[in-house]
């Protein structure tokens, strides 16, 4: 704890303000009460984080992925766009989560076949903070559609310290889903056309 500056001659340190982190359950209650209505936020490690607005390339990539994945997976899994995922005490809202088929009407999913983030302005956040969180939550397949560098980064083999492997797929290549190896996604199909 860091002490706040003191007036001259005052030797008693006054504690500085500390962050108060929310639990997942507290955050869920605030959401249910409509506290964040109209705001795009997520809970990450107890902190409420505002999310960047969606730019056209970001929205385009989500729409393309939904179309491809619905067609390829059929009724083998549920595809949840920009929906809450229960990861430990956090409540991130990934761009896409592929989850086991189940009734999620009373609780958010806490396991996933695949989580996908579409990244431009949030790239470093998705590569570091979100990757660390998903690895700790044992998400076995985490993809970043990297709009900055024009690739798909596939992270696998989660550990409490992060993912052991990262494979980068570029234009002309295809990435297969870990839990559904018959489903492959062409990088060119989800990146906006080159200018």
Domains contained in the chain, CATH given: 54-190 (3.90.1570.10)
* Position with higher pLDDT, 49 vs 53: 49
Phi, psi dihedral angles at 86 (to 5 degrees): -90, 105
Is there a contact between 97 and 80 (Cβ–Cβ < 8 Å)?
yes
Structure tokens at 107: 């609780």
Looking only at the bridges linking them, the beta strands covering 96-99 and 114-119 are antiparallel
CA 125/CA 117 separation, integer angstroms: 10
Contacts 24+ apart (CB under 8 A), 171-176: 175/143
User: Is 20 strand, coil or helix?
Assistant: coil
Of 87, 174, 99, the residue nearest 131 (C-alpha): 87
Tens digits of residue pLDDT in 146-170: 999 999 999 999 999 999 999 999 9
Predicted local confidence at residue 38, as pLDDT: 82
Is there a contact between 98 and 117 (Cβ–Cβ < 8 Å)?
no
Tens digits of residue pLDDT in 140-152: 999 999 999 999 9
């Amino acid at each position: 704890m860091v002490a706040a500056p003191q007036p001259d001659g005052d030797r008693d340190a006054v504690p500085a303000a500390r962050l108060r982190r929310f639990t997942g359950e507290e955050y869920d209650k605030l959401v249910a009460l409509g506290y964040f209505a109209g705001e795009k936020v997520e809970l990450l490690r107890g902190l409420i984080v505002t999310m960047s607005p969606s730019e056209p390339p970001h929205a385009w990539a989500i729409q393309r992925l939904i179309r491809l994945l619905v067609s390829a997976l059929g009724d083998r899994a549920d595809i949840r766009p920009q929906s809450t995922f229960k990861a430990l005490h956090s409540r991130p809202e990934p761009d896409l989560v592929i989850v086991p088929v189940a009734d999620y009407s009373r609780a958010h999913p806490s396991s996933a076949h695949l989580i996908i983030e579409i990244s431009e302005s949030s790239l470093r956040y998705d590569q570091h903070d979100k990757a660390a969180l998903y690895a700790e939550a044992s998400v076995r397949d985490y993809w970043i559609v990297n709009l900055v560098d024009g690739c798909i980064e596939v992270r696998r083999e989660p550990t409490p310290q992060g993912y052991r492997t990262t494979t980068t797929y570029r234009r002309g290549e295809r990435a297969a889903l870990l839990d559904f190896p018959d489903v492959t996604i062409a990088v060119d199909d989800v990146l906006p056309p080159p200018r």
